[in-house]
Amino acid sequence: MPRKIKRLSKIPFKRKNLKAFSFFLVFAVFIWLIVQFSKDYEQTISVPLILENSPKDKLVEKKQEVLRFSVQENGFSLAWLKLFNSSIKVDLENLPASKSNLLYIIPQQKDSIKQILNIKTNNIRFLEDTIAIPFLQKSTKKIAVKSSIKVSYAPGYSSQKPLAILPDSIKISGSIKNIDTISEIFTEELNLKNIKADQKGSVALDTTTISQVSFYRTKVDYTLDVEKFTEGRVEVPIEVINNPENTDISIFPKKVVVIFSVSLKDFELISKNDFSVICDFSEIEKEQNFIIPKLIKQPKFISDARLNINKVQFIIKRK
């Protein structure tokens, strides 16, 4: 008998038989896995909630929460959930708030959660109805927006109104200590060159010098109405005021030319009666033989008004 066993042990195990054995073993394990993974199981799954986009007036220190739920699914679906478990992004700005918490109300989010996680079954049970996310209330304040936009017009063009910033103020939030000293914010620098048509656009606010503060908006709009302008001239009589008693003042010249810029559409509205030029005798210094004329009245819709002379000679005649 021992000889027989010895003889059998010397019979070589063919490589072909080993391959066949390995194939059937792997196939059997594969079939077993298919059968096992096809069965339904109940598992508790934890999914990270990524907290983002905090409301501007609230400080949320937490960056992540955990959503836990129990689900009954086949092994394949459960394996997918466990191995390739995606996170869920939560937009905090859209959540309702209690006195000190933002509330992620799970029943209201159920359909969205199932869609994100690709869960088809209705056999899902959340371990919590609501996830409370604590926050600290910030102080808010309105500050003025100042323009850093420079405008240079093409020859013959200008504007009757300054460049407008919309809105002219914005809200900021933060601790009282951080926002108390802030009263204004400037736009980033912008150069508008050789302008000959109406302008509108948006410009970012320069927030580089302000830290630990939330801005309700970081851009504002600007508009500028541009018109074709022309140069106008009118001759206006000079009025002398504050004459010394018992004297007559003769001035040379008696009239002055006012030079100004005006839009073409308003040019015909201008008359010399819209202007007033005076010489104030009380401003004459000792030994001075001239008076400086001043333009004290002009239409609101003109610009760059100036006089063609800056000195008026005078003679005093005693009565």
> What does the pLDDT read at residue 46?
83
| % of the chain residues with pLDDT over 90 | 57
> What does the pLDDT read at residue 8?
47
| % of the chain residues with pLDDT over 70 | 82
Between 30 and 296, the more confident residue is 296
> What does the pLDDT read at residue 53?
92
For the cut 90, the answer to whether the pLDDT of residue 104 exceeds it is: yes
The number of residues in the chain equals: 319
> What does the pLDDT read at residue 118?
75
Quick one: average pLDDT of 120-134?
86
> What does the pLDDT read at residue 80?
61
Quick one: average pLDDT of 98-113?
92
**Model pLDDT for residues 197-246, shown as the tens digit of each residue:** 999 999 999 999 898 899 999 999 999 999 999 999 999 999 999 988 77
**Model pLDDT for residues 110-120, shown as the tens digit of each residue:** 888 888 877 77
> What does the pLDDT read at residue 228?
94
Antiparallel, parallel or unpaired: β 139-146 and 184-186 = parallel
Question: What is the pLDDT of the chain when averaged over all its residues?
Answer: 85
Between 170 and 46, the more confident residue is 170
> What does the pLDDT read at residue 134?
95
- Residue 47: pLDDT band with limits 50, 70, 90: confident
3-state secondary structure of 178: helix
> What does the pLDDT read at residue 278?
96
Exposed e or buried b per residue across 99-132, where buried means at least 16 C-beta atoms within 10 angstroms of its C-beta: eebbebebeebeeebbeebebeeeebebeeeebe
Q: Point out the least confidently predicted range of 21-30, 63-72, 79-88, 263-272.
A: 21-30
Cβ atoms 80, 119 nearer than 8 A: no
- Residue 135: pLDDT band with limits 50, 70, 90: very high
Quick one: average pLDDT of 137-142?
93
> What does the pLDDT read at residue 252?
93
> What does the pLDDT read at residue 288?
84
The Cα–Cα gap between 167 and 8 comes to 98
> What does the pLDDT read at residue 5?
46
Between 286 and 297, the more confident residue is 297
- Residue 124: pLDDT band with limits 50, 70, 90: confident
Structure token digits, residue 20: 């066949």
> What does the pLDDT read at residue 120?
73
Place of tokens 């600290």: 136
The DSSP output letter for 286 is T
> What does the pLDDT read at residue 69?
83
Cβ atoms 73, 41 nearer than 8 A: yes
